[in-house]
Amino acid sequence: MPTKLPPVDVVIVGSGWTGGIVAKELASTGLKILMLERGKFQDTNPDFIAPQSHDALKYSRRLDLAQDLSKETITFRNDRGQTALPMRQYGFFIPGSGVGGSGAHWSGLTWRWGEWEHRMLSGTVEKYGRSLIPEDMTIQDWPISYKDIEPYYDRFEKVCGVSGKAGNLRGKIQAGGNPFEARRQNEFPLPPMTPTQSMTMFEGATKKLGYHPFPIPASNCSTDYVNPDGVALGACHYCGHCTNYGCEANAKASPHFTMIPLARANTGFELRTNAMVLKVNLDSTGKKATGVTYADARGREFEQPADLVIVSAFVMGNVQLMLHSGIGKPYDPQTGEGVVGRNYAYQSLGGARVEVPRDVFMNPFMGAGALGMWIDDFASNNFDFAKAGYIGGAGISAGQNSGDPLTYRPTTPGSPRWGAGWKKGMVEAYQHTMSVGFQGAVMSYRQNYMDLDPTYRDHWGRPLLRLTFDWQSNEQKVMAATFAHCQRIAGEISGKAPATATPGRAMAGRRFNSVPYQTSHNTGGAVFGDDPRTSAVNKYMQSWDVPNVFVLGASALPQNAARNPTGPVGALAFWAADAIREKYLKRPGRLV
């Protein structure tokens, strides 16, 4: 029997961006708030202090900031005809753990999505009719518009000290920014980061081809910065240890230093680590949550009563917790009914490697997580869908992240994988290689979803979350077309056809492969919407069925864009936190 603890007003599951934002935004209410984090406590000092924080083996290979897969993982299959099997070691995504969650080890690309990306269904149908949308595609509009969320994008950018250049400032197109950008009220809080050689070459080539390059909005501060909450962020060192690492300079925004200390200003706030939430408890009606049950590091179970439960445990954790707790109807791919687990989507990556002249040195070790140039000419609805024959598109970029040779060591084309020729190939290529990569949008489909696995269990005896996902033909077309664009750009940079290339993992005939790391940008499973038949939560991320439960994060996004989801995730957390503070707490109950 779990030990019953004294009640709190609010319990927050997870200490990443969304949980952190809600905890901080509710601090002023003086409510008793308990945050439960499955992983360890960590802070910049001492956990992310250099030089130890630059250990590529520990962080980039052994993924020290990731979830312990021996305790919990997912099972995966491409289609319902297969038996799903566990992801036994880290695969296509890296789930974060510890205070700050994935926000401690992310790269820092902080996008606003474009206007069309907030209404992909109606925006597409209005312009092209229904014919581009296959019968099994289940994309849907956000329940709120870009205009509704714009101030919240602005807030998140200011919190993070995003470095960038506006492209559309109050309707005026700005030189050097993204001309396809949705209208913004304010310039980025910080100027763009210092470009690398690869970025200037990409910029030159894409301009020559008539495209519109701009610096990627980066939560890697280009200068020292104090955010509106009074939190000091340091200037980025360009040390090349961002992705999978914590940042010793607090230059890469993370909830562990932006949100958690401010939440702690509320004396009623407590952060409890090594606390794995197993279930949201419901009362006998099933319409009201009474709190959560969690296990501590020793495996002892505790029942924590609470009036309000915020589920903010990454995409997979959110969906799993809803399914284990009986919150919302599980999705059934056969009937298309049910909402929890519905509309899972991912992103696709690929690109072309470019050999640059031997008198040009790339210094690949001078990098940062979000340091790069990008074009949106083939993303969103910025080009003619009907002509392309698909929806979604892809962003194309050249960036410089880490030149640590443990993870970055290109070879000259045709080099062997080992021996003397291999060493020679590396020495010749290390300073003279760059790549042009793409990141493609992925739509939602009836057959791509999450549910509970019938066989495999986690450390605490609960069924693992089962993911069923495969590329569909729309995405395969996006990949093939975008790869051709990458090749053209690579050719323009090098003056010759790219020597080696990855045609994307989603080329026709190839199934989604869960083995190599691709991106952690999972979306969906508990999507937000206006219709309880096609959404698990309402526009404030409040469960339709259990109104004192809010489910925050990328699980709310009804399909994925060609851009990293952290910007929308952060903005939506502020949006939901406002609704909780200004509406829900004043009159608990369904807000819609």
Q: With respect to other proteins, which residue has the nearer C-beta, 336 or 405?
A: 405
Q: Residue type at 244?
A: N
Binding mask 307-346 for other proteins (x = CB under 8 A): ----------------------------------------
Q: What angle do CA 254, 256, 262 make, to 5 degrees?
A: 110
Judge contact between 583 and 591, C-beta under 8 A.
Answer: yes
Can residue 165 be called a binding residue for other proteins (CB under 8 A)? no
Spatial separation of the C-alpha atoms in residues 41 and 237, rounded to whole Å: 25
Residues 246-285 within binding reach of other proteins (CB under 8 A): 249
Rounded Cα–Cα distance for residues 581 and 585 (Å): 6
Q: Binding of other proteins at residue 423 (CB under 8 A)? A: yes
Cα 283–Cα 284–Cα 290 angle in degrees, nearest 5: 5
Q: By CB under 8 A, what part of segment 343-372 binds other proteins?
A: 358-363, 365-366
Tokens representing 400? Answer: 């410089």
Which residue number, 210 or 299, has a Cβ lying nearer to other proteins? Answer: 299
Q: Does residue 80 touch other proteins according to CB under 8 A?
A: no
Q: Which C-beta is closer to other proteins: that of 175 or that of 420?
A: 420
Q: Which stretch binds other proteins (CB under 8 A): 102-110, 157-165, 420-428, 558-566?
A: 420-428
In the region spanning residues 436 to 465, those forming contacts with other proteins, defined by CB under 8 A, are 455-457
**Residue from 389, 419, 454, 495 in contact with other proteins (CB under 8 A):** 419
| 128 binding other proteins? (CB under 8 A) | no
Can you tell me the distance from the alpha carbon of 31 to that of 8, in angstroms, rounded to the nearest whole number? 8
Of 135 and 359, nearer to other proteins (C-beta) is 359
Q: Which DSSP category does 438 fall into?
A: E
Give how many residues touch other proteins by CB under 8 A: 72
Q: Is the separation of the CB atoms in 342 and 532 below 8 Å?
A: no
Which C-beta is closer to other proteins: that of 40 or that of 130? 40
**Contact between residue 29 and residue 581 where contact means Cβ atoms under 8 Å apart:** yes
Phi, psi at 479, each rounded to 5°: -65, -45
Residue 246 contacts residue 104 (beta carbons within 8 Å): yes
Radius of gyration in angstroms for the set of CA atoms belonging to the chain, rounded to a whole number: 23
Determine if 224 is a binding residue for other proteins (CB under 8 A): no
| Of 84 and 162, CB closest to other proteins | 84
| Position among 68, 332, 384, 531 found at the interface with other proteins (CB under 8 A) | 68
Q: Which of 3, 28, 40, 57 lies at the binding interface for other proteins (CB under 8 A)? A: 57
Is 238 a binder of other proteins (CB under 8 A)? yes
Q: Which stretch binds other proteins (CB under 8 A): 20-28, 73-81, 521-529, 548-556?
A: 73-81
- Residue 476 touches other proteins, criterion: CB under 8 A: no
Q: Among 1, 6, 88, 586, which residue interacts with other proteins (rule: CB under 8 A)?
A: 88
Smaller CB distance to other proteins: residue 18 or 163?
A: 163
Is 105 annotated in the active site?
no
Instruction: Identify the active-site residue in 105, 324, 432, 521.
Output: 521
CB of 85 to other proteins, least distance (A): 4
Cα-based distances in Å from 263 to 21, 271, 275, 346, 538: 9, 9, 18, 32, 26
* Residue found under tokens 């992909």: 120
At residue 116, the 3 state secondary structure works out as helix
User: Is 89 near other proteins (CB under 8 A)?
Assistant: yes
Q: Which is nearer to other proteins, 124 or 250 (CB)?
A: 250
Per-residue interface string for the shown chain with other proteins, residues 371-410, x marking contact by CB under 8 A:
--------------------------------xxxx--x-
Interface pick for other proteins out of 4, 28, 80, 82 (rule CB under 8 A): 82
Cα–Cα distance list, 572 to 19, 30, 455, 576 (Å) = 12, 23, 35, 6
Member of 28, 52, 122, 473 binding other proteins (CB under 8 A) = 52
Q: Could you tell me the smallest distance in angstroms from the CB atom of residue 155 to other proteins?
A: 27
Q: Note whether 239 binds other proteins by CB under 8 A.
A: yes
Residue type, 382: N
The reply on whether position 531 binds other proteins by CB under 8 A is no
Q: Give Cα separations from 111 to 12, 142, 335, 350, 371 (angstroms).
A: 26, 17, 35, 20, 13
| Shortest reach from residue 9's CB to other proteins, in Å | 36
- CB nearer to other proteins: give 196 or 542: 196
> Could you tell me the two tokens for 562?
């060609």
**If binding is defined by CB under 8 A, does position 431 make contact with other proteins?**
yes
Using the minimum distance from each CB to other proteins, give the nearer residue, 196 or 258.
196
Q: Are strands 74-77 and 348-355 parallel, antiparallel or unpaired?
A: unpaired
**Shortest CB 86 distance to other proteins, Å:** 5
Tokens of 57: 């083996």
Q: Is 393:377 a contact under the CB 8 Å cutoff?
A: no
411 within 8 A of 429, measured Cβ to Cβ: yes
Shortest Å distance, C-beta 171 to other proteins: 33
Nearest Cα to 14, choosing from 90, 72, 98? Answer: 98
How far apart (Å, rounded) are the C-alpha atoms in residues 589 and 439? 40
Site for other proteins in 504-523 (CB under 8 A): 511-515
One of 43, 428, 530, 578 touching other proteins (CB under 8 A): 428
Among 29, 186, 194, 290, binds other proteins (CB under 8 A): 194
Q: 60 near 404, Cβ under 8 Å?
A: yes
Q: In the numeric block, which tokens belong to residue 261? A: 């200390």
Minimum distance from residue 69 beta carbon to other proteins (Å): 5
How near is the Cβ of 119 to other proteins at its closest, in Å?
A: 33
Applying CB under 8 A, the span of 207-215, 233-241, 374-382, 524-532 interacting with other proteins comes to 233-241
| Cβ–Cβ under 8 Å, residues 261 and 123 | no
Nearer to other proteins, 3 or 52 (CB): 52
3-state SS record for 225-280: EECCCCCEECCCCCECCCCCCCCCCCCECCHHHHCHHHHCCCCCEEEECCCEEEEE
DSSP reduced 3-state for 164:
coil
Active site residues: 521
